[in-house]
Amino acid sequence: MSFQAFLPLFAGLLRILSLTLQFGGILVLVYWSSRQLSLYLNPLRKLPYPPGPPSRDFISGNARDLASGHLWFTLTAWAQKYGNVMHLKAFNKDMIVISSLDDAIELMEKRSNNYSDRPYIPMTDLMGWSFGTAFKPYGPVWHAHRRLMQQMYKPATSLKYRPIQTEKVHDLLVGLLDSPEDFMTHIKTLSTATIMAIIYGYQVAPKHDEFQVLAEEATEAICESTYPGTALVNILPFLSIVPAWFPGAGFQRFAQWSTGLVNRMVNVPYEYVLTGLAAGTATPCLVASLAENCKTEEDHTLLKEWAATGYVAGADTTTSALGTFIYAMATHPTVQKKAQEELDRIVGADRLPNFDDEASLPYVQAILREVARWRPVTPLSIFHATNSDDVYNGHYIPAGTTIVPNVWAMTRDPTKYKDPEEFNPDRFLNADNELNDDEVTYAFGFGRRLCPGRHMASATVWLSIATILSTFDIRPPKDAAGMDISLADVKHSGGLISHVVPFECNITPRSSRSKQLVVDINDSK
**What are 469-508's pLDDT values in tens digits?**
999 999 999 988 889 999 988 999 988 899 999 999 999 9
For 196-249, what is each residue's pLDDT tens digit? Answer: 999 999 998 877 788 888 878 877 777 777 766 667 777 777 778 778 887 777
Contacts of the segment 387-393: beta carbons below 8 A, 24+ positions apart: 387/113, 387/114, 387/115, 387/116, 387/117, 387/138, 388/114, 389/42, 389/44, 390/111, 390/114, 391/44, 391/47, 392/50, 392/85, 392/103, 392/106, 392/107, 393/50, 393/85
- pLDDT band for position 378 (cuts 50, 70, 90): very high
Please give the single-letter amino acid code of residue 386. Answer: T
pLDDT grade, residue 2 (50/70/90)? very low
Return d(Cα 62, Cα 53) in angstroms, integer. 8
3-state secondary structure of 47: coil
Residue 41: is its pLDDT beyond 70?
Answer: no
pLDDT attached to residue 22: 61
Which of 60-69, 94-103, 308-317, 510-519 shows the lowest mean pLDDT across its residues? 60-69
Q: Fill in the amino acid letter for 486.
A: S
Beta bridge partners of residue 376, listed in sequence order: none
Q: Tell me, what's the pLDDT at 6?
A: 44
pLDDT in tens, 91-107: 888 999 999 999 999 99
The residues, any chain, with a CB within 8 Å of residue 69's CB and separated by 6 or more, are: 224, 230, 493, 494, 495
Residues shown for the chain: 525
Please tell me the predicted confidence (pLDDT) of residue 387: 95
Write the pLDDT tens digit of every residue in 119-171.
Answer: 988 888 888 888 989 899 999 999 999 999 888 888 888 899 999 999 999 99
pLDDT of residue 3: 42
Q: What is the pLDDT of residue 60?
A: 79
Tell me whether residue 451 is annotated as binding.
yes
pLDDT at 16: 60
Position 250 scores a pLDDT of 81
- Asked if residues 233 and 240 have their Cβ atoms less than 8 Å apart, the reply is yes
pLDDT digits (tens, 9 = 90+) for 260-319: 888 988 999 999 999 999 999 999 999 999 998 899 999 999 999 999 998 888 888 999
Sequence-ordered list of residues with C-beta below 8 angstroms from that of 450, at least 6 positions apart, any chain: 441, 444
Residues 355, 362: Cα–Cα separation, whole Å: 13
Report, as an integer, the average pLDDT of 375-387. Answer: 95
Q: How far apart are CA 188 and CA 107, in angstroms?
A: 35
| pLDDT category of residue 7 using cuts at 50, 70 and 90 | very low
SS3 of residue 58 by DSSP: coil
Residue 344 binned pLDDT confidence (cut-offs 50, 70, 90): very high
Q: Is the pLDDT of residue 338 over 80?
A: yes
Average pLDDT, the chain: 88
User: Which residues are registered as beta bridge partners of 85?
Assistant: 98
DSSP 107: I
497 and 379 in contact (C-beta within 8 Å)? no
Contact 201, 282 (CB under 8 A): yes
pLDDT of amino acid 217: 81
Confidence label for 12 from pLDDT (cuts 50, 70 and 90) = low
pLDDT tens digit sequence for 435-469: 999 999 999 999 999 999 999 999 999 999 999 99
